[in-house]
């Protein structure tokens, strides 16, 4: 025991124990040194670097994670490693408790803990959009939706690897339960040619396969802008708004091209609010995460961060080979 403080009578008294936060940081740093050698670099960067240690009690370790989906993925794939390494570092067993910090708020809300069976119990408040005024016409037929989806882009022929497994799992969850998860909107971002467009098309194709009656609309930010400009010229802005707000799933590719288009951003903001209010699913793709996009209104960026943001990284060698083999097989080469 360390003695470094004097009492009034000159005697030495034990030093105050270090804060639990400091202990948590030091312990987690030692755990990461071991984990880094147990998983590949891409998995380490995706699933361990974002974790922040918050507090370490006698038998509880509180970790801050980016989202509920993130914690669920840890449960399924990495909790055994975390527990094993923690026991190796400290010599004792531990319960893992997850907490999540929202993008817009500084408060931290508990979202669950690992039970003995390995399941996670969640109690995460769902953010609600601002109330919006929804104009509904009665007695008129809805304009037919042309999905414009590429039927070749499905989950079955999407090559999955370490670089895209997070985004692919999130996309599949949305496709199977559109509007029913906390991933609304789902924003998939990454560089050119990494499979973002394939994934967003796969979501639409999966939903239509399960329920052909669903109204699925795929568009690009450029096409949305052109349609809006034409509606202004023809004095049909109301019809334009009703069309885009009548879908069950709206997919917008390359939202970075909304940059600088103030009027288009404004109409898309209200379209987003309406769909979200109605519990409809929104899927977006971009070359960067929303908070790094330039030339977008803050309130629009805020909406983009309501749900889940998933990145697609460049594939490793094995995944690239698998992609080439799949394409050559499909093309008969």
Distance CA 249, CA 174 (A): 10
Cα-trace Rg, the chain: 24
Tens of pLDDT along 15-68? Answer: 444 456 778 888 898 999 999 888 887 778 878 888 988 888 877 888 888 777
Q: What does the alpha-carbon distance between residue 266 and residue 299 come to, in Å, rounded to a whole number? A: 10
CA distances to 34, 71, 132, 311 from 66, rounded to whole Å, are: 22, 8, 28, 13
C-alpha 49, offset from chain centre: 16
Side-chain-side CA neighbours of residue 158 (13 Å)? 27
Strands 186-190 vs 281-286: parallel, antiparallel or unpaired: parallel
Q: Would you list the DSSP string of 71-121?
A: HHHHHHHTHHHHHHHHHHHHSS--EEEEEEE-SS---EEEEEEB-TTS-B-
Written as six digits, the tokens of 71 are: 């914690």
Provide the CATH topology of domain 20-113. GMP Synthetase; Chain A, domain 3 (3.30.300)
CA distance 328 to 333: 5
Spatial separation of the C-alpha atoms in residues 253 and 221, rounded to whole Å: 6
**Contact at 8 Å (CB) between 189 and 308?**
no
Q: Where are the domains of the chain?
A: 20-113, 165-317
Number of C-beta neighbours around residue 151 at 10 A? 11
Provide the pLDDT for residue 164.
85
Give domain 165-317's CATH architecture. Answer: 3-Layer(aba) Sandwich (3.40)
Please give the chain's pLDDT, 333 residues, in tens.
Answer: 344 444 455 554 444 444 567 788 888 989 999 998 888 877 788 788 889 888 888 778 888 887 777 787 788 788 888 888 888 888 888 888 888 755 443 344 444 433 333 333 333 333 333 333 333 433 334 556 666 888 889 998 888 888 888 899 999 999 999 988 888 999 999 888 888 999 999 999 999 999 988 999 999 999 999 999 999 999 999 989 999 999 999 999 999 999 999 999 999 999 999 999 999 999 999 999 988 998 999 999 999 988 899 988 887 787 778 878 877 777 777
């Amino acid at each position: 025991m360390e003695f470094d403080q004097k009492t009034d009578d000159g005697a030495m008294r034990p030093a105050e124990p270090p804060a639990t936060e400091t202990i948590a940081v030091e312990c987690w740093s030692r755990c990461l040194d071991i984990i880094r050698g147990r998983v590949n670099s891409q998995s380490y960067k995706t699933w361990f670097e974002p974790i922040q240690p918050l507090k370490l009690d006698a038998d509880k370790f509180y970790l801050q994670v980016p989202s509920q989906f993130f914690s669920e993925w840890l449960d399924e794939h990495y909790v055994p490693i975390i527990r094993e390494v923690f026991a190796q570092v400290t010599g004792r067993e531990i319960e893992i408790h997850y907490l999540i910090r929202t993008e817009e708020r500084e408060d931290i809300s508990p979202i669950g803990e690992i039970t003995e069976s390995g399941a996670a119990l969640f109690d995460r408040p769902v953010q609600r959009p601002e109330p919006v005024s929804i104009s509904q016409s009665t007695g008129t037929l809805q304009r037919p939706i042309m999905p414009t989806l590429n039927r070749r882009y499905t989950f079955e022929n999407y090559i999955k690897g370490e670089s895209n497994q997070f985004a692919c799992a999130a996309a599949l969850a949305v496709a199977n339960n559109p509007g029913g998860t906390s991933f609304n909107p789902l924003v998939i971002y990454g560089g050119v040619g990494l499979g973002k467009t394939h994934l967003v098309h796969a979501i639409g194709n999966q939903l239509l396969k399960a329920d052909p009656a669903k109204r699925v609309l795929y568009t690009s930010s450029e096409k949305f802008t052109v349609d809006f400009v034409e509606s202004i010229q023809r004095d049909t802005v109301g019809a334009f708004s009703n069309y885009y707000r009548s879908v069950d799933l709206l997919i917008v590719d390359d939202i970075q091209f909304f940059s600088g288009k103030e009027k288009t951003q404004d109409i898309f903001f209200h379209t987003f609010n309406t769909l979200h209010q109605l519990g409809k699913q929104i899927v977006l793709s971009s070359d960067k995460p929303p908070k790094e996009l330039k030339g977008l209104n803050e309130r629009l960026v805020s909406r983009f961060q309501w749900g889940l943001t998933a990145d697609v990284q460049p594939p490793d060698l094995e995944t690239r080979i698998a992609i080439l083999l799949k394409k050559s097989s499909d093309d008969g080469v």
